[in-house]
Structure formats: C-alpha cells, structure tokens
Amino acid sequence: MKSSVQQKLRLVYLLFICLALLLPARAFAAYSFSIDSARIQGALLMHFPLREYTAAARLSLLEPAVILRQGADNLQLDIPVVASISGVGRKRGQLVVDVGLHYKPASGELFLGIPTIRRFDMAEISPQQRQTFRANLSDIVLKALPLVRIHRVREEDLNHSLAMSEMKAVQIEDGRLRVSIGFD
C-alpha cells in the first residue's frame, strides 16, 4: 500500500515538473492594464501650461494633445508654443515630442519617460532664434515631462511584491496604451 501512495506522489511531482517546464513563471506573474489618451491628458493638465523666461523670449508651452498612434513605441505630444519676444511681439508655434514610459517598481508608479523633440515649427523667426528656442524647449520638456505620473500599480493588483516588478511590455492599440507589469 505504501508503494501505491509513493507512486501517486511521484506522478504528481512529475506532472508538476512538466507543467513548470511547459509554462514559464512569467505567465503567472503578469499584470496588464490600459490607459486612454484622456487619462494621460488629465495628468498633463496638472503640469501645464509651462512658462520659462530666457534671454531671448518668454516661452509658454500650452496644453498638449496626446496622440496614441497604432503600433507606435512611444506616445506623441503635440504642444502649442507661444514665444513672447521683446520688441517683436508674440509668435506661435508647434512642438511635437515623442515620449516613452518609465516605471518605478518601489512605488508602482508609471511616469512619462525621457522626451525627444521630433519637430519644432514657428513661423517668422530667424534660424538662430529657432535653434535657441528649440534648445530651450528641450530643456523645459526634459525637466517637466518625467515628473508626470500617469498610473499607479497597487501591490494588491500583483501576485508578488512591487519591489520585484518591472515593466515588461508597452504597446499602443485601439487608441489605448497597454502596459504589462511582471517580474523576473
């Protein structure tokens, strides 16, 4: 009778080992969520408009529009810019910025990542002013955008501790940002 129990235990262990080999541990440790552009827009509104005085002008970055392009790696921000140039007046332009995401495991917070300026347009300014304004705008968005928190994962949402988690995948589909958090 003892050998019958041992055989059953061996069979259970063998099945467990087969399952463990066939199904990776990450399959059990993922938490996914999605964020729409309105939620990101709301988080940005708490930080915008941004204003900075420079030697060349007073630069104002107004409310950005969030663009989630299907299949893109990053989200896009279209930011209206106003430059108040002493002796010249106000000039309006547009800044297009690509932004990734940054996840802080200790707190479970998801922030906008390091921004990259893709395009800056402003009519009726000199090439030197355009270059100066672009550099100033780059400094402004590099300081401000990584402070924008767009989501917070709660530890009870995961089946493990936040400190062990990391961002596994980000994709944009159906007008939503889809994020998977897991652990190694």
Q: Identify the CA nearest to 176 among candidates 48, 51, 28, 32.
A: 32
Please provide the DSSP assignment of 65-118 as one string: EEE--TT-SSEEEEEEEEEEETTTEEEEEEEEEEEEEEEETTTTEEEEEEEEEE
Asked which of 32-46, 63-77, 91-105, 144-158 is least confident by mean pLDDT, the reply is 144-158
Q: How many domains in the chain?
A: 1
Q: Identify the CA nearest to 111 among candidates 102, 120, 119.
A: 102
For residue range 55-74, list pLDDT tens digits in order: 888 999 999 999 999 988 88
Q: What is the CATH number of the domain that holds 54?
A: 3.15.10.40
**Residue 179 β-bridge partners:** 33, 170
**Residue 176 β-bridge partners:** 36, 173
What share of the chain has pLDDT > 70, as a percent? 82
Q: What is the largest CA-CA distance in the chain?
A: 99
Q: Which domain holds residue 27?
A: 2-183
Helix runs in the chain, H state only: 2-22, 37-45, 127-144
| Average pLDDT of span 92-116 | 92
For residue range 149-178, list pLDDT tens digits in order: 999 888 776 666 666 778 888 889 888 989
Q: Which residue has the tokens 């090439």?
A: 127
Dihedral sign of CA atoms 95, 100, 104, 109 in order: positive
pLDDT at 82 over 70: yes
Dihedral sign of CA atoms 116, 119, 125, 126 in order: positive
What share of the chain has pLDDT > 90, as a percent? 50
